[in-house]
Amino acid sequence: MNDMNPLSQLGDMKLTRRDVLIAGAVSTAAASVPGLAAAQTAALPTPQAAAQPPVMAKLSLKVNGKTESLDVDTRTTLLDVLRENLHMTGTKKGCDHGQCGACTVIVDGRRINSCLSLAVMHEGSSVTTIEGLGTPDKLHPMQAAFVKHDGFQCGYCTPGQICSAVAVLEEIKQGIPSHVTASLTEKPLLSAAELRERMSGNICRCGAYSNIIDAISEVAGSKA
């Protein structure tokens, strides 16, 4: 008679009444849903899919005046190519979601968040990073102004801030309007409001914003 009891097959395993009830409930639920087991099995990734190699692509970039030829995974961001492949770690990875601006670089004259842009999208492009703006012996005017006006504290966001600031002055020079520009048909004025709006995508958690505006204004040759 004992041989007919499924629990007798469990040997010395100690089961509580709670364990038996839970096991029974799970078995009943699974049996009541037709095809549940098959659906769960189908949802599991196959070994073949998990083992697929990355898709590689040849990439040529002109970074800070030097042509770089690379073989990269097509999923790699421009930020990771700069930092991991070319070891230009001046460009920082902050939020990695395009929200802080720490990764800002200048591509073909325009500033972008390099964490949001795939490297293969920029085949043949000219990229300028903080390393390409100036050197410790010969600072870019914007770098020197940031130092003079204490436009940073911890400095983590500073490379992105400076790259963005350089591009902002070029935008104003070209007459590109912003959300606070009074007229779309007239050249934007160099004002504190314009600079704050254009730099709003670069976050400084230390709060050096007023000093950053002073630095940019000095380089522009006007006090905003």
Domains of the chain, CATH where assigned: 2-50 (no CATH), 138-224 (1.10.150.120)
pLDDT digits (tens, 9 = 90+) for 136-150: 999 999 999 999 999
pLDDT digits (tens, 9 = 90+) for 22-70: 777 666 665 666 565 566 556 666 666 567 889 999 999 999 999 999 9
CB atoms within 10 A of CB 73: 15
pLDDT digits (tens, 9 = 90+) for 163-184: 999 999 999 999 999 999 999 8
CA dihedral 34, 35, 40, 45 (to 10 degrees): -160
N- to C-terminal Cα separation, the chain: 95
Rounded Cα–Cα distance for residues 157 and 45 (Å):
40
pTM over the 0.85 mark: no
Q: For 25-34, 81-90, 214-223, which range has the lowest pLDDT when averaged over its residues?
A: 25-34
3-class SS at 125? coil
Amino acid at the residue 149: H
The average confidence (pLDDT) of the chain is 88
pLDDT at 149: 97
Indicate if the pLDDT at residue 159 is higher than 80.
yes
